[in-house]
């Protein structure tokens, strides 16, 4: 390769929801004997999932596959109400690591359906988040992905609301929103967008660097909706070459000139570092930042209370006193560091 320079998009990589989910599963691995179970992939990234599998975590697509009494985590993408109920009925310790932004959409679905609305939901077919959201009120919700599907919707007699999968591209969402408003002029939408701020920020950062690049490398897995949206955005920006990769090993060997690098919201920074090292830009790396993200989502309360209890017992058993225990500062602990320490 003859790469002159790397333009590094910021923000990139782990979002607040992914940080929370990875730390939560890591704490469960430390608190319980193996195996710990997880309903669906904790996040959509091959390297993260493989790391947890190496630690004895078993990922399942049906909670019925979890042996009775075993600890179980529900993934960040959100689960159908009946899945949550079945998990809790199984007798094991259950931690629901759903992203708070997805919880917000679930709440909006429940409220709007309860008020008699028909809900137009913009989401990808088969995506775990979309499946879980639609299950909140299946009798009231209609999933669409594009303006053609909006045109095919029936003419509802009830009031109409519109909600969205959090990881959609803003461009895709806007087109469908406009088409739905045209069909249903009295359309209700939430006061605050359902689209994840981290997804929007990563797309904005990529849009800033793409026009300056001869090629763009997007780091993340094919089943990551927000990663695929980044890849699509780079192509729509007219970048000559766009490559989505899982790791540095998948980099093409003939890249040259200025290469842009970004990462989906579930891709660890270690992958970014490996890619930059492999690109070996002769002119160095320029980070292009459009905003500073400082959002923080704490791990689920029941898990924090469990860990606090374990910590207290350990302190007392070693002869320590409760007032001497340092306060836990989970916010300052980064998920990437937690993964590396396991």
- Give the residue numbers marked as catalytic: 129
Residue 68 CB coordination number (10 Å) = 8
How far from 297 is each of 15, 302, 312, CA to CA, in Å? Answer: 10, 14, 23
As a dihedral over the C-alpha atoms of residue 88, residue 90, residue 93, residue 94, rounded to 10 degrees, the angle is -40
Largest CA-CA distance found in the chain, in angstroms, rounded: 70
What are 217's strand-pairing partners? 243, 261
**CA atoms lying within 13 Å on the CB side of residue 74:** 27
CA distances to 31, 307, 315 from 319, in Å:
21, 19, 7
Q: Which two tokens stand for residue 195?
A: 């689209």
Q: Is-contact 127 225, C-beta < 8 A? A: yes
Question: CA nearest 45: which of 207, 269, 200?
Answer: 269
Structure tokens at 232: 């699509």
Which tokens belong to 111? 């409220």
Per-residue exposure over 206-234, b if at least 16 CB sit within 10 Å of its own CB, e if not: bbbbbeebbbbbbbbbeebbbbbbbbbbb
Give the full edge-to-edge strand order of the sheet including 241-245. 241-245, 215-219, 256-263, 2-10, 285-289
E strands in 102-210: 118-122, 141-144, 160-164
Q: In terms of DSSP bridges, do strands 118-122 and 141-144 run parallel, antiparallel, or are they unpaired?
A: parallel
């Amino acid at each position: 390769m003859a790469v002159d320079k790397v333009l590094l998009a910021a923000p990139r990589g782990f979002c607040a929801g992914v940080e929370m989910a990875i730390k939560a599963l890591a704490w469960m691995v430390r608190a319980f004997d193996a195996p710990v179970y997880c309903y669906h992939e904790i996040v959509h990234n091959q390297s993260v999932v493989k790391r947890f599998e190496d630690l004895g975590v078993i990922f399942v697509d049906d909670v019925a596959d979890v042996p009775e009494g075993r600890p179980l985590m529900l993934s960040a993408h959100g689960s159908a109400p009946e899945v949550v109920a079945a998990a809790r009925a199984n007798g094991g310790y259950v931690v629901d690591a759903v992203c708070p932004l997805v919880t917000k959409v679930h709440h909006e679905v429940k409220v709007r359906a309860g008020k008699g609305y028909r809900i137009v939901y913009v989401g990808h077919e088969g995506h775990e988040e979309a499946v879980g959201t639609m299950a909140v009120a299946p009798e009231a919700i209609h999933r669409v992905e594009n303006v053609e599907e909006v045109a095919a919707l029936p003419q509802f007699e009830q009031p109409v609301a519109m909600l969205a999968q959090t990881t959609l591209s803003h461009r895709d969402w806007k087109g469908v929103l406009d088409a739905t408003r045209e069909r249903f002029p009295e359309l209700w939408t939430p006061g605050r967008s359902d689209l994840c701020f981290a997804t929007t920020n990563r797309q904005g950062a990529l849009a800033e660097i793409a026009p300056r690049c001869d090629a763009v490398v997007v780091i993340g897995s094919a089943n990551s909706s927000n990663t695929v949206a980044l890849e699509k955005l780079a192509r729509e920006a007219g970048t000559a070459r766009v490559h989505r990769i899982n790791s540095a090993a998948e980099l093409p060997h003939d890249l040259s000139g200025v290469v842009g690098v970004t990462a989906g919201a579930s891709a660890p920074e270690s992958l970014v570092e490996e890619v930059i090292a492999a690109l070996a830009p002769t002119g160095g790396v320029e980070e292009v930042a459009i905003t500073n993200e400082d959002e923080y989502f704490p791990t689920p309360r029941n898990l924090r209370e469990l860990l606090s209890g374990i910590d207290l017992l350990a302190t007392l058993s070693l002869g320590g006193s409760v007032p001497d225990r340092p306060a836990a500062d989970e916010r300052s602990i980064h998920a990437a560091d937690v993964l590396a320490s396991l």
